[in-house]
Amino acid sequence: MADVKVYVEKHFEHSKVDDKLFSSFIEHLGRAVYTGIYEPDHPTADEQGFRQDVIELVKELDVKLVRYPGGNFLSGYNWLDGVGPKENRPVRLDLAWQTIEPNEIGIDEFVDWSKKAGTEIMGAVNMGTGTPQDAAFLVEYCNFPGGTYYSDLRKKNGHEQPHHIKTWCIGNEMDGPWQTCHLSAEDYGKKALETAKMMKWVDNSIELVVCGSATSLMATYPEWDRIVLEHTYELVDYLSLHRYYENEGNDLDFLSSFYDMDNFIKSVCATADYVKALKRSDKTMYLSFDEWNVWYQQKQTREPWKIAPEILEDRYSLLDALVFGGMGLTLLNNSDRVKIACLAQLVNVIAPIFTKKGGPVIKQSIFYPFEHLSKYGRGTVLKPVILTPTIKTRYGNVPVVHQSVICNEEKCEVTVFALNINEQEEVNVSIDFSSFGQLTLVEHICLYGDDLHAINTFEEPEKVKPMSLSIEQQTGTSFEVSVPRLSWNVLRFTY
Ligand code: AHR
């Protein structure tokens, strides 16, 4: 059995975790909105047509922000189509996803939904067909108290109080040729700067996210990021990153996605820090990893011109959940720079929550690692010394057990997350907590199983789910824990 040693020192703090690290994303895409969060005929629908069974699961994930309304959809979206009396709203072609957008849900309804789901909105302004002025008008509509055209329009539409949307994305993936009205880095940088100025002039309390590269695989990466930041550095608060992984045929390579993601984050930080130096700035640019997940992009099919077609409905396996958990740990371990991270997406579309139209809702396998991260990943990430064997993968020599250690001072809890990517055997993890004194191991949650390709279905909704393993040693200053082969582990200690 392989051995991993972890030395945890309570004073070696890496970073405080921002609650916004546990955020998600809902786009007008496929069945995310229509028959996802909203289905007026559903037996659980409330008076506004929101599925309460879905709201309950969103609450379980304790999501801080939900990015809305896109995504690729954003770059052709006129937000005015989604406000006012529903019977007057236009039905539009959504060119990004080749679907029909009925506009039954817009910003006002989404604000209502977010309150019911116990979350906040990360707004987004259209930088494709949209202008800087459209963006400023949207901020006025949402955040200005009253007495102007757009703030009074919001009141007329039933929302007397401002929505107070604090965080805004300036466009989406504008480096991507697939984007409606895609721009060069220079053109986007200039447009984003003018847009940021106008948005902050309307409400200078807002925070802005400027588009970084759509993925590390873009030919324009990281030059795109450098150029955009050279234009916008002093006016924006975050640079965005997006990254999806899929199994390209080698499970071990797929399992080590977390390592590649770490490199991506580090090199985006280096790019941002280069611009910081160039500008002689004392401001640190934070990162918004506002799309991350497993996504099987090659299998994608499109049904043209339907309302809420079943597209991007990936069904996640145990293996996908392990990979997903590893990515989550990389986000935690980089939480000194990554302040926002959005699991893309939340319902039906590449999502942890999956509904049947008119029927039940289930948790996909990736629901669980996200739930664990959100429940036990809050506090301060520590910097343990880890001695671990490595395995050779396409991304280099990768630790066999990927870990993150979090101390929650308020709750007097320490959580050790451990992903074992060893395909052959279990690993013995010994953890030294001497600086804490005596600790109690209260729970060992583990997600693992014989069938890596098992998925949850409406017939078998709990096929993939974590279990509590029996604990051999309850208290001490050091612990020996065995983690099964190919497993996601949450070791919860109290002190
Ligand atoms: O999340 C699905 C899509 O992935 C989003 O619309 C886009 O931003 C990204 O390419």
pLDDT in tens, 395-416: 999 999 999 999 999 999 999 9
pLDDT at position 105 is 98
Max alpha carbon distance in the chain (Å)? 70
Cis peptide bond upstream of 176, omega within 30 = no
pLDDT at position 224: 98
pLDDT at 299: 60
Q: Is the pLDDT of residue 302 over 80?
A: no
Residue 119: pLDDT band by 50, 70, 90 thresholds? very high
Report d(CA 321, CA 466) in Å as an integer: 11
* Pocket residue to mutate for ligand 1, from 68, 240, 291, most atoms within 8 A of Cβ: 291
Alpha carbon separation from 200 to 168, 193, 204, 217, 441 (Å, rounded): 10, 11, 4, 32, 48
- pLDDT higher than 70, residue 491: yes
Nearest atom within ligand 1 for CA of residue 178 = 10
- Cα 468 from chain centroid? 26
CA of 125 to the centre of ligand 1 (A): 15
What are the chain's domains? 2-10+382-494 (2.60.40.1180), 18-376 (3.20.20.80)
In sequence order, which residues have a C-beta less than 8 Å from that of residue 11 and are 6 or more positions away? 435
Q: Which of 284, 256, 289, 291 is nearest to 270 (CA)?
A: 284
The token duo for 396 is 């280099």
Residue 335 pLDDT: 98
The rounded distance, in Å, linking the Cα atoms of 248 and 259 is 16
Annotated catalytic residue 173: yes
- Which residue shows structure tokens 């396998």? 365
> How far, in whole angstroms, is CA 432 from its chain's centroid?
32
pLDDT of residue 171: 98
pLDDT of residue 472: 83
DSSP structure class, residue 455: B
Mean pLDDT throughout 447-454? 97
Q: Share the mean pLDDT of the chain.
A: 97
**Whether this model's pTM surpasses 0.75:** yes
The values of phi and psi at residue 324, to 5°, are -60, -45
The answer on pLDDT for 220 being more than 70 is yes
pLDDT of residue 334: 98
Determine the 3-state secondary structure of 90 from DSSP: coil
Q: What pLDDT was estimated at residue 300? A: 60
Report pLDDT digits (tens) over 123-174: 999 999 999 999 999 999 999 999 999 999 999 999 999 999 999 999 999 9
pLDDT category at 301 given cuts 50, 70, 90 is: low
Phi-psi region of 471 (alpha: psi -120 to 50; beta: other; left: phi over 0): beta
Mean pLDDT across 86-105: 97
Mean pLDDT of 347-371: 98
Q: Does residue 2 register a pLDDT over 90?
A: no
Ligand 1 proximity of 32 Cβ (cutoff 6 Å): no
Is the shortest distance between the CB of 213 and ligand 1 below 6 Å? Answer: no
76 secondary structure, DSSP code: G
pLDDT tens track for 417-441: 999 999 999 999 999 999 999 999 9
Q: With contact defined as beta carbons under 8 Å apart, do 173 and 214 qualify?
A: yes
234 catalytic per annotation? no
Question: Is the CB–ligand 1 distance for residue 72 below 6 Å?
Answer: yes
Q: CB–CB of 225/233 below 8 Å?
A: no
Q: Which pair of tokens denotes residue 458?
A: 């409406």
User: Would the CA dihedral through 174, 35, 310, 247 be positive or negative?
Assistant: positive
